[in-house]
Structure 1
Amino acid sequence: MKKLLMTLAVAAPIALGFGLGGASSAEAKTSVNIYMGVPYYGYQVGPDYRYRRGYGWYRPGRYPYRMSCSRARDLVRDRGYRNVKARDCSGQTYSFRATRNGRGFIVYVNSRTGAVWRG
């Protein structure tokens, strides 16, 4: 048991990078930039990537910022609402007036994710 503890006392600092002879560990450097949820790269990943000054390389059209108001209205209709009329189609959350089973509701749609909920 004593030999095991002695071995661990010597091996643990070495394993953790605290070398005994003044050896130093190498430093790893990583750089990742994310702007508005769109990943930018420091190099051209493929032929369809475009360069944006100050940001880097990105793939256009892959990360839509917002869906159209008509697409959001279709999502509300797909959830069973009728007589869907847009109240506000600006910003990140769109709002609609709609009816279901004869009752009126305000329905919200996240313009980026397509999530639908009732207010």
Structure 2
Amino acid sequence: MTLFERTKNLSKQRGWNLQTTAEKAGLSQNAIYNWKTKEPSKVSLKSVADVLNVSTEYLLGLTDEMSPISSDKKVADILDDETILAFDGMEIAEEDKEKLREYARFIIEQRQRGNK
């Protein structure tokens, strides 16, 4: 499978077309279509990989492992109102975010009480 095909398939899985994926990555609308015949810049490739939440190695077909194995885990505080919550590349609606925060508060409270 080519870089273009992997990118197209992943975009489709996220419910996006290639123009949307390109825009989310900060590229021109048709930039990814150029990948059929031209190799993208490292910056463009990394931007698209980040948007699709996969490794650049996966997009290039160098591995079947979608996410990079890394010891550098990103930590985000779900209770922080500034944190952007998303699932499978799609942002979660504000009312659903608040439900998740309420559940997180409940779990934290249970742990503090010793009810793990």
Shared fold (TM-score, shorter chain, > 0.5): no
Task: Indicate the structure (1 or 2) with the bigger Cα radius of gyration.
Answer: 1
TM-score (norm: length of structure 1):
0.24
Higher helix share: 2
In terms of fraction of residues, the more strand-rich structure is 1
TM-score calculated relative to the size of structure 2:
0.24
Relative contact order higher in (CA < 8 Å, ≥ 6 apart): 2
